């Protein structure tokens, strides 16, 4: 899917937690996605898991304070203004995150 979006002129960006570098399986996924055209960065923390598509679709997964520790709530929202706001939030985290380098993905 990343390759198809990239070929169609779309941009695929992902921000992973720094802890992902400790997991060889995740590092391999990051390598494969990067080879397919994904731009990736690493950050020490992320407020929630987020996907924004077509400038109006938002999928987010966040901790659920009612259900308790370890539980999450996933929301799918179609709203261009909300997608725009969350895109700005993503961009802010992106700018402060560390770019992927070969040395960061080294075994």
For residue range 33-55, list pLDDT tens digits in order. Answer: 888 889 999 999 998 889 998 88
For the stretch 7-24, pLDDT in tens is 787 788 999 999 998 999
Q: Are residues 26 and 2 in the same domain?
A: yes
Instruction: Please report the DSSP string for 11-37 in residue order.
Output: --EEEEEGGGGG-HHHHHHHHHHHHTT
Query: Number of folded domains in the chain?
Result: 2
Residues in contact with 21: Cβ distance below 8 Å, sequence separation at least 6, in sequence order: 27, 42, 104, 105
Q: What's the predicted TM-score (pTM) here?
A: 0.83
Q: Are residues 65 and 92 in the same domain?
A: yes
Percentage of the chain modeled with pLDDT above 70: 98
Is residue 63 situated within a structural domain? yes
Q: Are residues 31 and 66 in the same domain?
A: no
94 confidence band (pLDDT: 50, 70, 90): very high
């Amino acid at each position: 899917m990343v390759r198809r979006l990239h070929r169609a002129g779309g941009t695929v960006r992902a921000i992973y937690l720094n802890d992902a570098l400790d997991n060889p399986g995740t590092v391999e996924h990051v390598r494969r996605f990067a080879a397919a055209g994904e731009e990736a960065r690493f950050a020490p923390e992320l407020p929630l898991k987020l996907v924004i598509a077509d400038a109006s679709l938002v999928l987010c997964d966040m901790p659920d304070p009612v259900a308790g520790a370890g539980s999450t709530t996933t929301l799918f929202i179609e709203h261009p203004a909300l997608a725009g706001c969350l895109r700005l939030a993503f961009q802010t985290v992106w700018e402060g995150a560390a770019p992927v380098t070969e040395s960061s993905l080294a075994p």
